Structure 1
Amino acid sequence: MELAMSNNNPDKFDPPKHEEILRVLGKAFWSIVEHYALNQREQAILLGIKENRQRLNTLKKEVQIPDDPDKILRVAHLVGIHKNLRILFPQNRVVAYGWFKTKRDLFDGLSAMEYIAEDPMNSLPRLFSVRRLLDQLRVAG
């Protein structure tokens, strides 16, 4: 995302517009969905929406996410997870993209995706906890 220079002061930058943030996050979400081979149930859980094939297909076709602060936060955490995995496994995309669905002792034998999906009402805090765990692993690495 490029920052535009302010017309009033060349030393200041205008923050990105809400629509631009949504566009970038929509593109990022649907790219991550492809990389991690997430099915529609998993997509809905990560977005915090009801599983509705038609709605998900429309969002995917239009490369969008719902315009809602909760959904924006969810996708931001997912982008953070993706970034961490690419940093932790820079030479092995197969491992990076498989990590999210690989069962781990860290999640009591569940994959990160299963851990998030296990309690849909708490999927946002669980998504956040997976991101924080990866943040810590990245920093410690």
Structure 2
Amino acid sequence: MANQKKRPVREGDGLQRLDVSRFAPANRRRLSAPALRTFLTIADLWGLTEEQRLLVLGLPARSTYHNWCKRVREHEAITLDVDVLLRISAVLGIHQALGILFPDERSGVEWLTTSHGALPFGGRPPLDLLTSGSQDGLLSVRRFLDGARGGLYMPPGSIDEAFEPYTDDELGFQ
């Protein structure tokens, strides 16, 4: 197999194609300012320091970060890199999951900042992983919360605590 030539992937090979138009500058420009404004609002809610914000965004230069912030606050257009947009997307997903899993924003922020015994966090607050500077850290928190939304990892919420499982008779199995 090591001597086999690799043939080019062609249309109709049954392989799924990545839609590269999503990464086109025009599309990134359309998404960048609203994404960054939303990120800044969430970062304020979570109480992130400037250093933590820079880490979440992939460590852009401070001057670059401040230029982005100034321009989006003045509703000017900017074009962020794909990496930065992916990071912001992860933050948006984390924020959404916290809103689903917890009854109010304060509880979600408390979860982020409290030590957690789950394997990805190793007894540290999820915010530490989120602000580690790595894309993988952000995505690990996002995946954990997505799993929790699906019923994994976390105990049931107050609405589910009194749930009585259905019996076979109630489901029509006899």
Shorter-chain TM band = 0.7 to 0.9
Q: CA deviation at 1:66?
A: 6.3
| Distance in 1 between residues matched to 2:40 and 2:131, nearest whole Å | 18
Contact 1:77 1:131 in 2 (8 A): yes
> Post-superposition shift, 1:105?
1.1
TM-score for the superposition, normalised by structure 2: 0.62
User: How far has the Cα of 1:47 moved from its partner?
Assistant: 0.4
Counterpart check, 1:137 vs 2:151: no
RMSD: 2.4
The separation in 2 between residues aligned to 1:76 and 1:139, in whole angstroms, is 20
Cα deviations across residues 85-127 of structure 1 (Å, max 9, x unaligned)?
A: 00111x3221112322222112112111212445x4xx10111
Deviations 1:2-52 (A, max 9, x none): xxxxxxxxxxxxx99432211221111111111101001110110011562
- Equivalent residue for 2:116, pick from 100, 104, 129: 104
Q: Kindly indicate which of the two structures has a greater share of residues assigned to helix.
A: 1
Aligned-partner Cα distance in 2 for 1:46–1:104? 20
The number of equivalent residue pairs is 122
Contact 2:115 2:124 in 1 (8 A): yes
Gaps of at least 5 residues in structure 2 are 1-21, 157-174
TM-score of the two chains, using structure 1 as the length reference: 0.75
2:85 to 65, 68, 72: 72
| Cα distance in structure 1, aligned partners of 2:79 and 2:123 | 32
1:93 partnered with 2:105: yes
Match of 1:36 in 2: 46
Structure 1 contact 48–124 (Cα < 8 Å) conserved = yes
Runs of 4+ in structure 1 over 6 Å off: none
Q: Percent identity?
A: 26
SS of the residue corresponding to residue 72 of structure 2 reads coil
Q: Distance in 2 between matches of 1:57 and 1:99?
A: 29
Confirm or deny: 8 A CA contact 1:88 1:138 kept in the other structure.
Answer: yes
Per the alignment, residue 4 of structure 1 pairs with none
SS of 1:104's equivalent in the other structure is coil
The answer to whether the aligner puts 1:26 opposite 2:36 as a matched pair is yes
Q: Out of 63, 66, 70, which is 1:61 matched to? A: 70
Structure 1 residue runs of 5 or longer lacking an equivalent are 1-14
2:171 — aligned with what? none
